[in-house]
Amino acid sequence: MAPSSAGRTLTAASAVLVLAAAAGCGGFGGGGSSPGGGGATAWALTGGSEEAFRTSFESWNEANPDREIAVEWFANDAYKEKIRTAVGSGQAPTLVFSWAGGTLADYARSGQVQDLSGQVDGATEDLLPSVAANGEVDGGLYAVPNNQAQPAVLYYNEDVLADAGVEPPETLADMMEAVEALKDEGVVPIALAGQSVWPELMWIQYLTDRIGGPEVFQRILDGEEGAWSDPAVVEAATAIEDLVEAGAFGDGFGSVDADSGADTALLHTGKAGMLLQGSWVYPNMASDAPGFVEDGLGHTAFPVVEGGAGDPSNIVGNPANFWSVSSDAPEEERQTAVDYLNEQVYNEEHVQSLLDLGSVPPVAGLEEEIAAQDDPEHLEFTYGMVRDADHFQLSWDQALPPAQAQELLSNLDLLFLGEVTPEEFTAAMDSTL
Amino acid sequence: MRAAPPHRARPAPASGGGPTPWMAAPALVLFGLFALVPLAGVAVLSFASWDGLGAPRWAGADNWVRAAGDPVTREAVWLTVKLTVLCYLFQAPVSLLLGVYTATRTRHREVLAVLYFLPLLFSSAAVALTFKGLLDPNFGLGAALDLPLLARDWLGDPDLALGVVVFVVGWSFIPFHALLYQGGVRQIPASLYEAARIDGASAPAQFLHITLPQLKYTIVTSSTLMLVGSLTYFDLVFVLTAGGPGGATRILPLDMYLTGFRSYDMGQASAIGVVLVAVGLALALGLNRLTGSHRMESRQEGA
């Protein structure tokens, strides 16, 4: 079509429309402004400890009708993708939910979240130090925990282990023997959700920690050259290679999906002997197989590695989720958020609602409250683990910057599939530093 | 016996070229707003360095150089080519034969046709989740029916996963293409087959010398949709394997998504996106030229 007056009008009209739409974009999708002057906003996750969050926000809103917090709820993956764009474009809610680690460091270093040092003592005074430490970036306090601690636990099926005549393993050598005995019984020795990849992280994390201690990963986090080829990581990767070659995870672990609970199903249906998973799988198992959880589910700490330098009390997993306060919010909203953190986070009601969900808040001195619960055994075990841990390692994929975390997951996947050797794995990871 | 008059009357084009250009305005505005503007944004972003936080920084050709040298992205290109070729080789013959088979109007074939078209009604995510469940070696079809042959590590073995993806993609899309062919076959004048039968042509000869040539443009349309479509398979593969195991199904659209929204490297992801758009356009235009279908001459002369 030759340029005509109609064509030019069309172009102009489209341009106006585009501008109007672009201007309109500024108005939606963000944390949104709340009704009252001092009200604030928050985004939180569905599932997991959702009920505890709901109770907590409801009682705040009842007590502070002039400074209500408006909460929006998201599914896990959708949230992770949305929050980063929202924070980056100045549209974040007042209270930013996170996993701490590399993402929190990014937020803090680009000035998107507030330094809360000295302002949130009400929320942090009773916290277990190994958990609280995760909210610190470059000496400032940028996030406070807001729910339960989730260490990775070695679960086992008592009947399956008894049939094979093995005890829960206390050392890596015990574990290799147990693998052989369980294979002879025709079950998968250790269930592993290889399709989801992230459960594989717990193996390399625990093994590296048991062999070399937490300093090994700290050097990786600091970006020291060649930190991945530390002998401890190589030894951990070799142990994984040995386990895979011995058939510890069965032939089909690449098809097992953690999101649909296929790994816990293998354990409670008696098709697998052991499972290394975060304590967050416990509530799901309790609802899927209540009989098994009552009588037949065992739990223990990750085995030690003979001659390893790591403290056997060390644990890995998710210390907790965290709240940060957005720097983009107006002064009044930020004050509301800080007051909320001081008054509501880990107050008596919040702690109790977390315990009712079968999860342990990372707060000191809860022994009595836990003993009073209906089914205190698993709670006491995980609480003891968290309380006594010398070091609580945040999941590596959360601790590292996103690009390195993705490289780690890809290369770990290849290591478990036997497509790369331990040396190739560490060399590939060294190149990401 | 004539099926249709040889020359249909067409309204003569008005001087100045058809109806007023304003008729295209709503479509153009929507297309501009939701396709061209974001596309331009992606093209600009491919020259910037941006992790989703803060302001994008100008990076020149850096993203392009990195994307070209990245072994993962190179592998993704190769996997996309493999997937495209395998999907085409699987889908094209099956949908052609199914379409021809269901075109005949007999009752049992029409019942079968309805069954064949069911997958067309399902969402990709549902299809992927269902197959994921069925193919699970521990709790899936193989375990339920106690068939060791089916209880393989279909989605967890790097050597099998791509084949499974090709199969599931085919299962989802063959009904659509079979529908195209069915319509195409029903357009062929019966007089051609009558003439062939009088001349004593066998059924395979009729298929080769009448059905196939008459379906030329249906084949072109269906092939274009299949080939260009395979550059955009995302939801199905993402839910089925998320690019695993060990990157064995990390095709280019997945590579773009994972680079952008998992590694937060929006610049390199945009560069991959631009490549996808360019290859897709080139493929569609190329097919159109190659097959001469842009001339759109009739295949029914003399019928």
ipTM of the shown complex: 0.80
Residue B199: CATH number of its domain: 1.10.3720.10
Least confident span in B41-45, B144-148, B254-258: B144-148
What is d(CA A150, CA A49) in angstroms, rounded to the nearest whole number?
11
What is d(CA B201, CA B249) in angstroms, rounded to the nearest whole number?
46
Which of A10, A402, A413 is facing B264, going by the closest CB pair?
A: A402
What is d(CA A115, CA A142) in angstroms, rounded to the nearest whole number?
5
- Going by C-alpha positions, the residue among B126, B158, B148 that lies closest to residue B240 is B126
A403 or A155: which leads in pLDDT: A155
Looking at residue A9, what is its pLDDT? Answer: 42
DSSP state of B121: G
The answer to the question of residue B166 being in a domain is: yes
Contacts of A18 in chain B (CB under 8 A): 32-33, 37
Q: Is A81 on the interface with B (CB under 8 A)?
A: yes
What is d(CA A258, CA A197) in angstroms, rounded to the nearest whole number?
9
Residue A181, token pair as written in the block: 């005995």
Residue B177 in contact with residue B222, Cβ under 8 Å? yes
Residue B230 in contact with residue B88, Cβ under 8 Å? yes
Name the β-bridge partners of A145: A322
Q: Which residue in B153, B157, B162, B255 has the most chain A C-beta atoms within 10 A of its own C-beta, making it the best mutation to test that interface?
A: B153
Residue A327 φ/ψ region, left for φ over 0, alpha for ψ in the -120 to 50 degree band, beta for the rest: alpha
Looking at residue A18, what is its pLDDT? Answer: 38
Residue of A nearest to B250 (CA): A410
Contacts of B249 in chain A (CB under 8 A): none
Q: Tell the residue number behind the tokens 């990014």, with chain if given.
A: A106
* CB neighbourhood size of A349 (10 A): 13
Looking at residue A10, what is its pLDDT? Answer: 40
Residue A191 in contact with residue A199, Cβ under 8 Å? no
Residue B253 in contact with residue B229, Cβ under 8 Å? no
Cβ of B72 within 8 Å of Cβ of A7? The answer is: no
Contacts of A254 in chain B (CB under 8 A): 153, 155-157, 244-245
The answer to the question of residue B59 being in a domain is: no
What is d(CA A247, CA B126) in angstroms, rounded to the nearest whole number?
33
Return mean pLDDT, chain A. Answer: 87
Least confident span in A118-127, A225-234, A396-405, B64-73: A118-127
Q: What is the per-residue pLDDT across B21-48, written as a single tens digit (0 to 9) for each? A: 888 899 999 999 999 999 999 999 999 9
Cβ of A257 within 8 Å of Cβ of B132? The answer is: yes
The answer to the question of residue B243 being in a domain is: yes
Percent of chain A with pLDDT over 70: 91
Looking at residue B17, what is its pLDDT? Answer: 65
Q: Which residue in B36, B138, B155 has the most chain A C-beta atoms within 10 A of its own C-beta, making it the best mutation to test that interface?
A: B138
Cβ of A253 within 8 Å of Cβ of B246? The answer is: no
- Going by C-alpha positions, the residue among A29, A21, A393 that lies closest to residue A213 is A393
Percent of chain A with pLDDT over 90: 58
Residue B302 in contact with residue B195, Cβ under 8 Å? no
For domain A40-149+319-364, give the fold. D-Maltodextrin-Binding Protein; domain 2 (3.40.190)
Q: What is the per-residue pLDDT across B80-102, written as a single tens digit (0 to 9) for each? A: 999 999 999 999 999 999 998 88
B18 or A293: which leads in pLDDT: A293
Looking at residue B296, what is its pLDDT? Answer: 55
Interacting residues of A189 by C-beta distance below 8 A, sequence separation 6+: A178, A179, A182, A183, A247, A248, A249, A250, A272, A273, A274
Q: Is A189 on the interface with B (CB under 8 A)?
A: no
In the predicted model, what is the mean pLDDT of residues A267-273?
94
Residue B188 φ/ψ region, left for φ over 0, alpha for ψ in the -120 to 50 degree band, beta for the rest: beta
Q: Is the pLDDT of residue A50 over 80?
A: yes
Q: Is the pLDDT of residue B165 over 70?
A: yes
For domain A151-317+393-430, give the fold. D-Maltodextrin-Binding Protein; domain 2 (3.40.190)
Provide the pairing of β-strand B57-58 with A144-145.
unpaired
Cβ of A262 within 8 Å of Cβ of B139? The answer is: yes
Report how far apart the first and last C-alpha atoms of chain A are (Å, whole number). 55
Domain that holds residue B192: 82-249
What is d(CA B81, CA A175) in angstroms, rounded to the nearest whole number?
44
pTM equals 0.83
Q: What is the per-residue pLDDT across A30-43, written as a single tens digit (0 to 9) for each? A: 344 444 467 899 99
In the predicted model, what is the mean pLDDT of residues A404-426?
94
Which of A88, A194, A265 is facing B156, going by the closest CB pair?
A: A194
State how far Cα B268 lies from the chain centre. Answer: 25
What is d(CA B275, CA B268) in angstroms, rounded to the nearest whole number?
11
- Measured CA distances, A107 to A101, A318, A400, B282 (Å): 10, 19, 14, 41
Q: Which residue in A255, A271, A406 has the most chain B C-beta atoms within 10 A of its own C-beta, making it the best mutation to test that interface?
A: A255
The answer to the question of residue B171 being in a domain is: yes
Cβ of A255 within 8 Å of Cβ of B72? The answer is: no
**Three-class SS state of B300:** coil
Q: Taking the domains of chain A in order of start, what are their residue ranges?
A: 40-149+319-364, 151-317+393-430
Q: Is B142 on the interface with A (CB under 8 A)?
A: no
Return mean pLDDT, chain B. Answer: 86
DSSP state of A17: H
In the predicted model, what is the mean pLDDT of residues A125-147?
89
Q: Is the pLDDT of residue A417 over 80?
A: yes
What is d(CA A53, CA B154) in angstroms, rounded to the nearest whole number?
40
Cβ of A255 within 8 Å of Cβ of B155? The answer is: yes
What is d(CA B46, CA B274) in angstroms, rounded to the nearest whole number?
8
Cβ of A265 within 8 Å of Cβ of B245? The answer is: no
At B278, the amino acid letter reads A
Contacts of A6 in chain B (CB under 8 A): 20-22
- What domain count does chain B have? 1
Looking at residue B294, what is its pLDDT? Answer: 58
Q: Is the pLDDT of residue A54 over 50?
A: yes
What is d(CA B30, CA B39) in angstroms, rounded to the nearest whole number?
13
Residue A303, token pair as written in the block: 């085995």
Looking at residue A274, what is its pLDDT? Answer: 96
Q: Tell the residue number behind the tokens 């064949």, with chain if given.
A: B116
Q: Is the pLDDT of residue A130 over 80?
A: yes
Residue B241 in contact with residue B169, Cβ under 8 Å? no
Looking at residue B295, what is its pLDDT? Answer: 61
In the predicted model, what is the mean pLDDT of residues A123-139?
87
Name the β-bridge partners of A45: A74
State the pLDDT confidence band at B261, using cuts at 50, 70 and 90.
confident
Q: What is the per-residue pLDDT across A328-381, written as a single tens digit (0 to 9) for each? A: 899 999 999 999 999 989 998 899 998 888 888 999 988 888 888 887 888 999
Residue A161 in contact with residue A298, Cβ under 8 Å? yes
Q: Is A195 on the interface with B (CB under 8 A)?
A: yes
Residue A119 in contact with residue A153, Cβ under 8 Å? no
